[in-house]
Copies of this chain bind each other. A is one copy, B any other.
Amino acid sequence: MSNASPLDATFAALADPTRRAIVERLAQGDATVLELAAPFQISLPAISRHLKVLEHAGLISRGRDAQRRPCRLRAEALREVTQWTEHTRRAWEERFDRLGDYLRELQAREPITDTPKEEEEDHGDEQS
């Protein structure tokens, strides 16, 4: 049991709005802890821990500049998120397209006589 994927940490890190805001800020360029903390009302230790979470998830790396620890976004980690998400989404859409082909093919073949009524039920929101 107990699967553990690096994606666990990445998705979890991005689930927090403060951390996403930090990531967005870092997309504009490197920043120190104080700079990153400025827009928020929470305490510095809280920010420091958010940064540790981001670092542990591989989303940022940290440098050293005297007593400052500037943070830098790691685009790599973001790309991994996109890859999993898009891979999954495309699998679904391809399957959906195949289903569409099948249904269209069926409809073209014969105008339907007997519906055995197996599988495929209402989901309210249907793609055309």
Contacts and interface: CB of A to CB of B under 8 A. Distances in A.
Interface of A: 1, 3-5, 7-8, 11-12, 14-18, 20-21, 23-24, 26-30, 41, 61-65, 68, 70, 72-75, 78-79, 81-82, 84-86, 88-89, 91-93, 95-96, 119-125
A-B CB proximity, top 9 nearest? A11-B15, A12-B15, A65-B121, A3-B17, A27-B91, A78-B89, A63-B123, A63-B121, A27-B92
Number of copies: 2
A28 B95 contact: yes
A5 B63 CA distance: 30
Given A78-B89, A85-B85, A4 B28 contact: no
Contacts of A95: 27-29
Contacts of A96: 75
